[in-house]
Amino acid sequence: MSAAQRRIGMFVCLFAIVLAVLDLQIVSAAAVPIVRDLDPVHGIDHFPWLVSAFALASAAMLPLYGKLCDTLGAKRVFLGAVGTFLLGSALCGLARSMGELIAARAVQGLGGGGLMSVTMVVIAQLAGPGEQGPGRGGGLGGVVAGGGMALGPWLGGFLADHAGWRWIFYVNLPLGIVVLAAGALVLNLPDQPVRRPLDWAGAGLAAAFSTALLLVTDWGGRTYAWSSPRITGLLCAAVVALALFLWRQRRAAEPVLPLSLFRVPALRWGFVVQGITGAAMMCAIYYVLVYLQVARGLSSSAAGLFLLPMAAGMTAVGILTGRLSGSARTLTLTGTLTMTAVFALLATTVTPDTPLWLIRAELLLAGAGFGQLVGRLIELVQNAAPRPLLGVATTGIRFFQTLGNALGAALFGTVLFRLVDGDVSAIPTLHGAEHVAAVRDFVHATDVVFGCGAAVMLLATLLATRLPRAQAKAPAGTLPDGALDRVPEEARRTAS
């Protein structure tokens, strides 16, 4: 590929990431118009499934996407994911009931999972002659994803207010068609896919485990009590599915997530730290927004504007660190330390009357911390992964981030709702001394949540010290020393 083609290819990939990440969060700000149009009586009860259906379908496909990249080639899988995403977007826009919209969101999520993971594999394979390692674009891709996550709720509210909620989905069509056409014409990747059987049983077990776990975190303590038969059954199903998945991965000829990857220190610790970081990002974004709406009385769209400083901080720091020579390990350590400090600040400064400029400043600092983290672990994992397993390793770290998002939402949500008496959503409707007392109790609970976030990020910092220091990369197309002992038999013959 020429230098111009590589630049166009990189732009196409970054744009695809933005589309996927925006659609993960974008519907959260359009709840009222969607429910009012499709089902004003019972629609609000089903609305959480619009987010969950996308997330569940995305997570369920992640392990399989990695193996498909290594088997069929990243370009084919990327174009297939974009096409599926566009089909789901069109169906969402045409939906005439909440059931149809939820089903269409699941189809959209099947493609969205590929856009958020396969795209990173494509970026890794766009490295030109003399450029360093497959992970060179992981940092920029991660920053774009983080910025999209921060801007999604605001953009959803803007489109719903000014163009109608269906345009949240219709806007994907012309943009996605451009991505599809440009990807088909420009991308000429140097991958060498090997036709070999796929571990469909392993992929199914991974999907069953992630689906059960995500449903537990979504329903537990809110829709159903933690001790309810439904939550207990889902937990048991998740444990059984995980045990069967691990058993299958030890015996499958071509596992979707080879357990041998965990023998590589950069991969093992990278997966864990990425999961913890995903949990912390959910805490920083979601519970600051909840505080602004419940304790300060801001509308959802006004609260969403507070995420602009975070997005700006992530973008600026991501671009700056991309130009520096610091290693991914160093940036991971400084990023986790920065986020530990941010959560400590939030836990000690957030009160019922904290100046709003201070909240914006703390979110700007949070963006600076996440800007050092988002994408750097992907870069580290891609650089350490054996070439025949690049797709599996890349989608693997995205899978752990998704699980971290879900577990973080459950952990921090449980802490908050255990400490708050009564219905949080009813606090803005209270008056007088009752309102003051309820806000005070809610803010205290929020401070505890942020304190838990600081503890979680401190743990991430300690674990990040286990990440190996940068090592010299093997020449393109070869494997690091000892990697041949860590890949499946057919991939080993191909690499040799």
* Angstrom distance (rounded) from CA 316 to CA 359: 19
> What is the pTM assigned to this prediction?
0.73
* Angstrom distance (rounded) from CA 467 to CA 196: 32
What does the DSSP assignment read for 252-321?
Answer: -SS-SS-GGGGGSHHHHHHHHHHHHHHHHHHHHHHHHHHHHHHTS---HHHHHTTHHHHHHHHHHHHHHH
* Pair of tokens at residue 42: 């019972």
**Residue 220, helix vs strand vs coil:** strand
Element (H, E) at 95: none
Task: Give the amino acid at 105.
Answer: R
Handedness of CA 36, 42, 44, 50 (dihedral sign): negative
Q: Which residues make beta-bridge pairs with 220?
A: 224
- Do residues 2 and 10 lie in contact, with contact meaning Cβ atoms separated by under 8 Å? no
* Angstrom distance (rounded) from CA 336 to CA 454: 10
Question: Which residues have a Cβ under 8 Å from the Cβ of 284 and sit 6 or more positions away?
Answer: 310, 339, 342, 343, 363, 366, 370, 453
> Which of 419, 460, 448, 440 lies closest to 348, judged by CA?
448
* Pair of tokens at residue 476: 């393109």
- Do residues 450 and 283 lie in contact, with contact meaning Cβ atoms separated by under 8 Å? yes
Q: Cα-Cα-Cα-Cα dihedral of 161, 166, 169, 175, to 10°?
A: -80
* Angstrom distance (rounded) from CA 326 to CA 335: 12
pLDDT in tens, the chain (496 residues): 677 778 888 888 877 877 777 776 667 666 667 777 777 666 556 666 776 777 778 877 877 887 787 778 888 888 999 999 999 999 988 988 888 888 898 898 888 888 877 887 787 777 654 454 444 454 555 556 555 665 666 666 667 666 777 888 888 888 889 888 888 888 877 666 666 677 788 888 888 888 888 788 777 776 788 888 888 999 999 999 999 999 998 888 778 788 888 888 888 898 889 888 888 887 777 788 888 888 888 876 677 778 788 878 887 787 777 666 667 788 889 989 999 999 999 999 999 999 999 999 999 999 888 888 876 777 788 788 777 777 778 778 888 887 887 777 777 877 887 788 777 767 877 888 888 888 899 899 999 999 999 999 999 999 999 888 764 443 333 344 444 344 444 444 433 3
Phi, psi of 166 (to 5 degrees): -65, -25
**Residue 172, helix vs strand vs coil:** helix
